[in-house]
């Protein structure tokens, strides 16, 4: 099972993690804030990600059918996910997500 972790981490911390060269057990997509993650991964976009988990690449019409939404709205959301680097585009324009599991990690701390 191929897993990706969506996490929240300041860019400086993410760069330090990458520089340390720790071997990655999972693929990662790092957001710089909880707000950024929430802005990109809205509930309707989560449904698109969920429809793509473990599936073959698919076009907007099939995605629309699977999530029960109109083609235009799914087109807008799928493109936003692609622009954010959350999902991929194939050469023939379909959307893909090459993972069978998603983990989400973030930590909230008391304000100083």
Q: Each residue of 77-108: pLDDT tens digit?
A: 999 999 999 999 999 999 999 999 999 987 77
Give the start-to-end residue ranges of the domains of the chain.
3-105
18, pLDDT greater than 80: no
Which pLDDT value is given to residue 110? 82
Q: Residues 53-86: pLDDT tens digits?
A: 999 999 999 999 999 999 999 999 999 999 999 9
Q: How many residues does the chain have?
A: 112
CATH T-level fold of 3-105: Arc Repressor Mutant, subunit A (1.10.10)
| Residue ranges of E strands in the chain | 3-8, 27-31, 88-89, 95-96, 101-105
């Amino acid at each position: 099972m191929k897993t990706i972790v969506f996490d929240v981490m300041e860019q400086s911390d993410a760069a330090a993690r990458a520089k340390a060269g720790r071997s990655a057990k999972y693929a990662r997509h790092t957001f710089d804030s909880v707000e950024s993650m929430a802005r990109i991964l809205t509930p309707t976009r989560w449904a698109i990600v969920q429809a793509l988990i473990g599936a073959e690449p698919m076009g907007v019409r099939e995605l629309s059918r699977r999530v029960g939404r109109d083609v235009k709205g799914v087109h807008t959301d799928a493109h936003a996910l692609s622009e954010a680097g959350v999902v991929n585009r194939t050469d023939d324009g379909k959307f893909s997500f090459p993972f069978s599991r998603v983990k989400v990690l973030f930590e909230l701390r008391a304000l100083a």
